[in-house]
Amino acid sequence: MDTKDLLSITGSLTTILQFLAGIPICRDIWRKGSTDGISGLPFLAGVLGCSLWFRYSLILQDQTMCLVNLIGLILQVCYVLIYLLYPSTQKATFHRQLGTILAILFGVIYYCSIEPKVDIAKFRLGVICCLTTLFFCASPLASLRDVIRMKNTAPLPFPLILLTALVTGQWYLYGVCIGDSVVQLPNLIGCMIATFQLSLFLVYPRTPAVKPHGDCIDPVVLECRKKIKPSDSAYQRTLLKKFQAPIYKNVQFCIFCQKTDYGWMFMCFFFRVIISTQWF
């Protein structure tokens, strides 16, 4: 067994394990009987990322990447369907986000099917895959300010960061083996970001500071408390009450999207710029 085969096996296993991070969230949704306080955007982001990379792997004719992203796509679609089955006060917003994701996917797939030059389609699709992956990998840095200000790493999910470092590191090496810079670049940067976040655990303690009355001073909770008003929706009140839900602990991307709306705004702006350029 050569290095490429070894990396294809280990990288596939760790990536699939990372895709399974949505199961605890779906379990919480099932227990609560609703999706209030839980964002479905990470699931949609997973559908987008797996779909783009699956289409790229088809052009690349790489069986390992095809299999991994196909499994990830199936899991993410299942998560989305579970999210749709349960009631939520944010259902209309989720439907708009779902429509946007589907429009982007259909547009990209249609372009790849009509582009007569395969090399051009491969390059342009690779650029989109790189940028979306870099955005998803960099989104946890939104918590960096809180970590430094509070001098503890409580807002950071250590298991997922460690798994991200392993996954991106292995896929970077796999990209080196197959000689594909599109696979190398985003995974190298993602691995560096995850490694930097891991280094924070050596600098700051894991246990958050606690007030004498036992009142948690998690930065996410403090930020929510500043904004909560009696007239706010049930979703916002639930967000405050359920601040320790697995969505904050297990899905880094959702931390970014829950705290601000900039994640979704940036994604829409990014694809608007891509579509308006000469690439399409």
Which residue type does 187 have? N
- For residue 200, give every residue at least 6 positions away whose Cβ sits within 8 Å of its Cβ, in sequence order, or none: 144, 147, 153, 156
pLDDT digits (tens, 9 = 90+) for 118-174: 889 899 999 999 888 887 776 666 667 777 777 887 777 778 888 888 999 999 999
The pLDDT confidence band at residue 67, using thresholds 50, 70 and 90, is: very high
Provide the pLDDT for residue 5: 87
- Name the residue among 100, 19, 62, 17 with its Cα closest to residue 179: 62
The CA distance from 162 to 41, in Å, is 22
Give helix then strand counts, H and E, for the chain: 14, 0
225-236 pLDDT, tens digit each: 555 555 555 545
**Are the C-beta atoms of 58 and 259 separated by less than 8 Å?**
no
- pLDDT tens by residue, 75-127: 999 999 999 988 878 788 888 989 998 999 999 989 988 888 888 989 999 99
Residue type, 188: L
Q: pLDDT tens digit string along 3-61?
A: 888 988 998 999 999 888 888 888 888 888 888 877 788 888 889 999 999 999 999 88
List, as one string, the DSSP characters of 211-277. -TT--B--HHHHHHHHH--TTS-HHHHHHHHTTTSHHHHH-HHHHHHHH-SHHHHHHHHHHHHHHHS
High-pLDDT (> 70) share of the chain, %: 71
pLDDT higher at 190 or 250: 190
Coil, helix or strand at residue 210: strand
Q: Are 33 and 23 in contact (CB under 8 A)?
A: no
- Please state, in angstroms and rounded to a whole number, the distance separating the CA atoms of residues 218 and 212: 14
The total of other beta-carbon atoms located within 10 Å of residue 197's CB is 24
What does the alpha-carbon distance between residue 90 and residue 232 come to, in Å, rounded to a whole number?
13
Instruction: Check: CB of residue 64 under 8 Å from CB of residue 41.
Output: no
pTM: 0.69
Distance separating alpha carbons of residues 40 and 54, to the nearest angstrom: 21
Q: pLDDT-based confidence at 74, cuts 50/70/90?
A: very high
Query: Sign of the C-alpha dihedral, residues 78, 81, 82, 83?
Result: positive
